[in-house]
Structure 1
């Protein structure tokens, strides 16, 4: 059977799905093990997240991985993502990062345990908890998998909670620009708009990666989206900030730092009749390689017009002009509609991470 050391690895599960003529019926599932408890195991499969009661598991084992990024590639992308969402208060434990932003968003208020913490693992976790306790904040740890699986095992032993898995997805910029252009020109599906779909952060109100990150994919003809103009600015307008504040449950001073304290950043604005109806944010980090997409949001009045894809296309062009070669975003795995849109645009999952939450004392 499986152990905590298997979390973050590819497994196959044969489960009992019924009984016929007195004999059990089986179904096999293949994917990455993202959670294992006494009662359930959770798989990240090609079809989405699958939660299987342990009582239904007939057999389960680890299998050889598919081609996956190297540990160095995961570290490099996580560092680029941290640069793109910079917390104003920071600390270090060896190579580990400690981040705080007045509680605004999960990733800006969590430890990133990649590399060597310069002390035994148990002592490192103790130090993380002390650092956040001194700030009066709950301790959070983001664990990229399978890279940080040993950290996850230590947190499991201490009773830390787990938020839903988040996918870190990437796409080559030429492919992304082509796909998003095709979509809003009508050669692909032109019926959906992202509702803030790159969930790069956690919603402070819900405690989970942004619950508003969904796709409005209902049928309906575009109504003017093809003629919309996307304006990219080096600073966000007051209207842009108001939309971001509404989505994220407020906008403290630390949030303004997170949004703007990046050398290369652009804020996308789309207006209709003088009203801001869609926004987005792009950054270039990771030594100029990575375009990071975040806060893609279309107001309800302007959905089903392809505006989110136009925002992504414009930001992709800006990133490419600055030398970036790839884009990344983060999206909650259970957000199936958003994942489907990004798949159409050429995104694939690079790795996953879990946000771990310290137990109440």
Structure 2
């Protein structure tokens, strides 16, 4: 942001700039705080009835009255990254989807409806009074990359119908924060009362430095097999069934890592990697709570990275929820940087009305 406080500040944006990345300064409301101005950077997703809607990198939409603007301009589509391999958000989102495949899928134009339903009691089915459980939101949401091939309201109706038939809540996964992400769609969903439930960061790094991490990899065991001991350490699957196993085993060139404990049984640490062309995707890195801060996560990552290098990969990615401070700090130390964010949006429940108020 390079607005000056002493010089002239111009408003050079118009409603014709909807869809572009903008930087604006607005006058604060009286009593809002000691600062006179507030700055906002994001994608201008709409400008109607004297109100600008700007979606930030985080996916949050800010509503700004036109009368409060004191400066505004179009800025480059996305800030340049200092580190990490070059990639588009679309490429990364599609690669990550292949690495975490659903059990069932169906195209909706370029979008992909995905489901991986866990085994559930008979009353947890359509009409049974409760929703069935899906194994992870990633495998039970619409991957909204590209064009659905239908007007949005018709596409959302089809999505709601498809997930209702499976006893699942309608979820849409979309990204924000890069040149080719879906800020406009996020604003459209918010206007229709959809709720952003979970946000995560897509992080990237060069692969070779991961393989060279100072870590003792001699204890790490790599295998193509997914056994019960590995699953016993995996926190997201307290009672893993066929659905969990199918999601974890499928994908391009999947490897499982484990650090055995002092006795036969549950490993001290685990990890999973899917190699897909130049990309190595890391998931399910977990360490026994009593064995943390011993370098086990680094050892697992390094061992998997070396295997991925042997298969021709050169870049790494992973996904970490924004509220997982411990994992984010760990990956910071490994050289991962945030490329963009993604979010899961849930359809409003019956009778729920969208909040159209302007803060």
* TM-score bracket for the superposition, by shorter chain length: 0.7 to 0.9
| 95 and 235 in structure 1: CA distance in 2 versus 1, 3 angstrom threshold | same
Displacement after TM superposition at 1:152 (Å): 1.7
Q: Does residue 272 of structure 2 align to residue 238 of structure 1?
A: no
Which residues in structure 2 correspond to 1:122-201 (within 5 Å)?
Answer: 122-145=153-176, 147-178=181-212, 181-182=213-214, 184=215
- State the distance in 2 between where 1:345 and 1:28 align: 34
Check conservation: 1:112, 1:142, Cα contact below 8 A.
yes
- Aligned with residue 298 of structure 1, among 279, 287, 297: 287
- State the distance in 2 between where 1:11 and 1:150 align: 16
Check conservation: 1:88, 1:100, Cα contact below 8 A.
yes
Q: Give the alignment's TM-score, normalised by structure 1.
A: 0.72
- Aligned with residue 317 of structure 1, among 306, 309, 315: 306
- State the distance in 1 between where 2:312 and 2:273 align: 14
- State the distance in 2 between where 1:50 and 1:99 align: 25
2:123 alignment counterpart: none
Displacement after TM superposition at 1:354 (Å): 1.2
Q: Does residue 75 of structure 2 align to residue 67 of structure 1?
A: no
Q: Secondary structure at the match of 2:330?
A: helix
Q: Does residue 271 of structure 2 align to residue 256 of structure 1?
A: no
- State the distance in 1 between where 2:324 and 2:30 align: 28
Q: Secondary structure at the match of 1:292?
A: strand
- State the distance in 2 between where 1:50 and 1:94 align: 26
Q: Which has the higher contact order (CA 8 A, sep 6+)?
A: 1
Displacement after TM superposition at 1:341 (Å): 2.3
- State the distance in 1 between where 2:195 and 2:43 align: 16
1:357 alignment counterpart: 346
Q: Secondary structure at the match of 1:90?
A: strand
| Structure 1 portions without partners, runs of 5+ | 185-225
Is 314-323 or 327-336 further displaced after alignment?
Answer: 327-336
Q: Give the alignment's TM-score, normalised by structure 2.
A: 0.72
| Structure 2 portions without partners, runs of 5+ | 1-10, 118-133, 351-359
Check conservation: 1:142, 1:356, Cα contact below 8 A.
yes
Displacement after TM superposition at 1:18 (Å): 11
- Aligned with residue 76 of structure 1, among 79, 88, 91: 91
Q: How many residues align?
A: 304
1:24 alignment counterpart: 34
1:229 alignment counterpart: 219
Q: Secondary structure at the match of 2:260?
A: strand
RMSD: 3.8
- State the distance in 2 between where 1:161 and 1:281 align: 30
| 32 and 315 in structure 1: CA distance in 2 versus 1, 3 angstrom threshold | farther
Q: Secondary structure at the match of 2:34?
A: strand
* Deviation sequence 1:187-216 (CA, Å, 0-9, x none): xxxxxxxxxxxxxxxxxxxxxxxxxxxxxx
Q: Secondary structure at the match of 2:211?
A: helix
Q: Does residue 151 of structure 2 align to residue 120 of structure 1?
A: yes
| Higher Rg | 2
* Deviation sequence 1:115-142 (CA, Å, 0-9, x none): 1212222211211111111111100000
